[in-house]
Amino acid sequence: MSNQTTMTKFLLLGFSDVRELQILYLVMFLMIYLAALMGNLLIIMVVALDHYLHTPMYFFLVNLAILDIGSISVTIPKSMANSLMNTRSISYSGCVVQIFLFVFFVSGDVALLTIMVYDRYVAICKPLHYERVMNRKACVQMAASAWISSVLYSALHTGNTFSISFCGGNMVDQFFCEIPQILKLACTDSYLSENGVMAFSVCLVLSSFVLIIASYVQIFKTVLRIPLEQGRHKAFSTCLPRLIVISLFVSTVFFTYLKPTSSSMSGLALVAAVLYFMLLPVMNPIIYSMRNKEIKAALRTLTRWRLLTKNEMSVSLS
């Protein structure tokens, strides 16, 4: 029998024991990580440098990009390092930090996505009240409340998880420290309080999802009243991909956290984990920037300005 005072490390799930496959997973994760990193950094850079993008929607988008960079940076680098060094261990303190940061960034993602949908709801359904409702002070307060509530929520989860006693060894059935898998190692009389917190968390996520769906229903109703077919098509092509990604994210989270801890579906749990911790950081830059004409126009302007500056410098030097 061991408990949290004597636990020094956890052993994470490996993708494969074959060295060649470990390297393959390392390369795949590295490509995904770099794509997410570059996409989100591009959003931050373009919005910061273009004055015309200093609006509530892009202010929230920058916050979302920062959270996405954080959420994918918590898990992938450690997994890549383990694959590179052919090890599976993570220290007890490292596991605590990983869970705290991961819950913080993911919960912040959910909060920001809900706020961004509300922003679009006000912009489309109540355009005359938009400047009054979504003023600078209100936007800062909304973003700050998302960050602060995420810190408190993560501290509650992490503190409650690691206050339990561990009686099931140190083998975590996941490639990163995940609360449902940590609970499998808990004593049967110790993890009930954390399950209560998780049930509360699922209710919070479900409430956010219901609010998002209700907002999109109102948005679609308003869009259908637009007389021009081109305008309706533009609105639907913008909103539907966001709704699909949010739905996939919420469904994978529900599968992960509502699945009984005694379940042995490690393969499905692995796929669900890969989806919900990679889905938003990779897809958000595509949905909010690559399909966004304003950001693409700002990026072209910045590129032309940079090329023009380089040409002027080369002419002056010559």
Q: Number of structural domains, the chain?
A: 1
Q: What is the pLDDT of residue 147?
A: 95
- The neighbouring-strand residues paired with 279 are none
Phi–psi pair at 206, nearest 5 degrees: -65, -40
Within-domain flag for 22: yes
Q: Compute the distance between CA of residue 152 and CA of residue 315 in angstroms, rounded to an integer.
A: 55
pLDDT of residue 289: 67
- What pLDDT does 274 receive? 73
Q: Is residue 4 part of a domain?
A: no
User: Does the residue 243 lie in any domain?
Assistant: yes
34: in domain: yes
pLDDT recorded at residue 84: 83
**Domain presence at residue 85:** yes
In a domain, 281, yes or no: yes
Max Cα–Cα distance, the chain, nearest Å:
78
Predicted local distance difference test score (pLDDT) of residue 162: 84
**Which residues is 9 bridged to in the sheet?**
91
Range of the domain at 78: 9-303
Per-residue model confidence as pLDDT tens digits over 199-256: 777 778 788 888 888 888 888 888 888 776 666 666 666 677 777 777 777 777 776 6
CATH number at residue 224: 1.20.1070.10
Residue 318 lies in a domain: no
Q: Is residue 171 part of a domain?
A: yes
Q: What is the phi/psi pair of residue 9, to 5°?
A: -155, 165
At residue 101, the pLDDT reads 94
Half-sphere exposure for 128 (CA within 13 Å, toward CB): 0
**Distance of CA 75 to CAs 62, 98, 185, 276, Å?**
21, 7, 20, 12
Closest CA to 205 of 96, 299, 113: 113
Which stretches of the chain drop beneath a pLDDT of 50?
1-5, 264-265, 315, 317
User: By CB neighbour count within 10 A (0-12 exposed, 13-18 middle, 19+ buried), where does 285 fall?
Assistant: buried
